[in-house]
Amino acid sequence: MNDLFLRPEHVLQGGYFHSTLRKLQEPNTSIEPHNIMYPVFLLENEDAIQPVGSMPNVHRYGVNQLIPALTTLVDKGLKSILIFGIVETMPKDPTGSSADDVSNPVIKALPKLRDAFPQLLIACDVCLCPYTSHGHCGVLTNTGAIDHAASVKRIAEVALAYAKAGAHVVAPSDMMDNRIKAIKDALISHKLQNQVSVLSYSCKFASSMYGPFRDTMKSSPMEGDRKCYQLPPGSAALAARAAARDVAEGADFLMVKPGLPYLDIVKQTKDQFPNHPLFIYQVSGEYAMISRSGDSNEVQTTLMETLTCMRRAGADCIITYFAPVILSIISGKH
C-alpha cells in the first residue's frame, strides 16, 4: 500500500507548495482590473444618492454624485462600468419612450462621464423594461404577447441613441431574437461601428436571482414573467443556439447570466466561441447571497474564490457589484 503513495507520478504536492508555483498551476485565473466591470444605477435627479435596501453597500446615484464615487474607484484601477438608467418622474409608456428621450438620465450623463473619465470604458445596458408601463423588455401586441418586429426596432433605436450620446459599448439585455443584427446595422448606417461595440446578453436565463435588481430598478413586469424570452435554466442547448445566433449577427462579446450556477454554460460558451471575449454577470441575487455569507473576511475570501472559478470556467470579464471591494483587495488600497 505504502508503495502506491510513493510512486513519483502520483506526487502532486511538490508542484504547488509555494505561492509562485500555485500561480503557474492557475494560468488564466488572475483577477486584474480589466477583468472587472462595475454596474451602476443612474438616477434622473442629478444630485440624488439613495442606498439600495436589498443590496448592502450599493447605491443609486445622480450623475453629480456618481462622478465623485467613480473618481475614488478609477484611482484604484477601475477600467469599465455598465450603466442602468432609472426614471422616477419621466413617464413610462407601452413602447418605453423615455429610454431614448433627450432627458433620459443615461443620455444626459454620458457626455459628462466621458469628459470626467477619458480612459474609462463605458457600457450601457439597453432594455425597455425600466421604461415601459407594463414592465416587459419588449413591446407587446394587444393580446399581451411580445411584438417581435416592434421590439427589435425599439431596442435598436435605444442602442443607437446611447451610442450617439457617447457609449463605448451597448449591451442589449432584452433577449429578443435578432436584435444584435438590428443594432449592428444601425451602428453601421450611422458610421459608428468602429467606435461602439455590442456586448450581447446572449445566454441570459429566466432566473429567480434578479429580485434585488428589479426592486432597485422598479422594473418588474406588471403581469406575467419573462419565460418567453429569457432562457429556461435547464437548457444548455438553447444557450448554445443563442450564442451561435448572436455571433452570426455580429456580437463582439458574449455573456452568461447569472454566473455561479451556470459555470457549465460558461465553459460550454467559451469552448464554442474561443475567439469571443466572454462576460459573466454576477447578478444581484448572487451579490446578496455572498454579501450575507459571513463576516467581511469570509465574504472577501468567498468572493475571490468565486471569481477565480469564474475565470477558470472561461470568463474574461465579470460584471459585479463587488467591484469596489475587489479593487480594494487587488490594489491594496482600502
Residues of the shown chain interacting with ligand PBG in the complex, contacts defined by CB under 6 A: 125, 127, 129, 137, 173-174, 210, 213-214, 226, 283-284
- Candidates 78, 95, 93; CA nearest to 37 is 78
105 prior amide bond cis, ω within 30 = no
Give helix 105-116 / helix 63-75 axis angle, nearest 10°: 40
Nearest distance from C-beta of residue 132 to Zn ion, angstroms: 9
Count of residues interacting with Zn ion (CB under 5 A): 3
CB 60 within 8 A of CB 46: no
Which region among 95-103, 120-128, 228-236, 282-290 touches Zn ion (by CB under 5 A)? Answer: 120-128
Nearer to Zn ion, 110 or 129 (CB): 129
125 φ, ψ (degrees, to nearest 5): -65, 135
Which of 181, 184, 257, 270 is catalytic? The answer is: 257
Residues 133-172 that bind Zn ion (CB under 5 A): 137
CA separation for the pair 247, 261 (Å, rounded) = 23
Can 204 be counted among the known catalytic residues? yes
Name which of Zn ion, ligand PBG, none residue 210 binds, using a CB cut-off of 5 to 8 Å depending on partner kind: ligand PBG
Examine residue 107 and tell whether it contacts Zn ion (CB under 5 A): no
Whole-angstrom CA distances from 57 to 60, 216, 319 are: 10, 13, 16
CB 205 within 8 A of CB 258: yes
Nearest distance from C-beta of residue 80 to ligand PBG, angstroms: 16
Nearest distance from C-beta of residue 185 to ligand PBG, angstroms: 22
Nearer to ligand PBG, 77 or 211 (CB): 211
Nearer to Zn ion, 24 or 145 (CB): 145
Nearer to ligand PBG, 113 or 175 (CB): 175
The stretches of the chain forming alpha helices (DSSP H) are 2-6, 19-25, 63-75, 105-116, 148-165, 179-189, 211-217, 236-248, 263-272, 284-291, 296-313, 323-331
Can 257 be counted among the known catalytic residues? yes
Nearest distance from C-beta of residue 54 to Zn ion, angstroms: 18
Nearer to Zn ion, 32 or 223 (CB): 223
CA separation for the pair 16, 5 (Å, rounded) = 17
Among 129, 160, 169, 247, binds Zn ion (CB under 5 A): 129
* Residues β-bridged to residue 320: 282
Nearest distance from C-beta of residue 197 to Zn ion, angstroms: 20
Nearest distance from C-beta of residue 219 to ligand PBG, angstroms: 6
Region class of 224: left (phi > 0), else alpha (psi between -120 and 50), else beta: left
Nearer to ligand PBG, 25 or 43 (CB): 43
Which of 76, 181, 204, 270 is catalytic? The answer is: 204
Q: Which amino acid is at 74?
A: V
CA separation for the pair 331, 144 (Å, rounded) = 49
The residues annotated with a catalytic role in the active site are 204, 257
Point out which residues bind Zn ion (CB under 5 A): 127, 129, 137
